């Protein structure tokens, strides 16, 4: 019987000392996400804003404010998707995404020097 191919996990765990673990799509830490190449928004599907902007209306007001104050311009629909996979913990998801994006930018910007 042939061995199954090792599959990459669909979500990677992001630990924070203050918050419980959050599972995120690994694309957040990718080079494509770290290097914007003219894009202004961090979106898992790399869509234009007109595709996902309607997701902003479904978010609670405090979450919308937190996204407005975020260090990165993160797609609200992607945050909603990630929060759904993490028990509705919007603020923990936003912090985890910011942390992963910061690490990815440092890693890929150091490679380009």
The mean per-residue pLDDT over the stretch 8-31 comes to: 77
Q: Does residue 7 form part of some domain?
A: no
Q: Domain for residue 2, yes or no?
A: no
The answer as to whether 1 is a domain residue is no
Residue 3 domain flag: no
pLDDT number for residue 50: 80
Banded model confidence at residue 70, pLDDT cuts 50, 70, 90: very high
- 8-11's contacts with Cβ under 8 Å and 24+ in sequence apart are 11/85
Domain that holds residue 66: 12-112
Burial 16-42 (b: 16+ CB within 10 A, else e): eeeeeebbbbebbbeeebbeeeeeebb
Q: Give tens-digit pLDDT for 39-48.
A: 788 999 888 8
pTM here is: 0.80
Task: Please check whether residue 4 lies inside any domain of the structure.
Answer: no
Structural domain includes residue 101: yes
**Number of folded domains in the chain?**
1
Q: Angle at the Cα of 74 (from 68 to 95), degrees rounded to 5?
A: 80
């Amino acid at each position: 019987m042939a061995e199954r191919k090792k599959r990459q996990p669909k979500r990677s765990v992001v630990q924070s000392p203050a918050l419980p673990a959050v599972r995120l799509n690994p694309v957040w830490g990718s080079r494509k996400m770290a290097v914007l190449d003219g894009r202004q928004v961090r979106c898992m599907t790399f869509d234009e804003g007109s595709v996902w902007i309607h997701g902003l209306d479904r978010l609670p007001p405090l979450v919308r404010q937190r996204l407005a104050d975020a260090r990165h311009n993160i797609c609200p629909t992607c945050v909603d998707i990630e929060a759904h996979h993490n028990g509705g913990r919007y603020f923990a998801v936003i912090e985890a995404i910011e942390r992963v994006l910061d690490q990815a930018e440092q890693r890929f910007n150091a490679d380009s020097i």
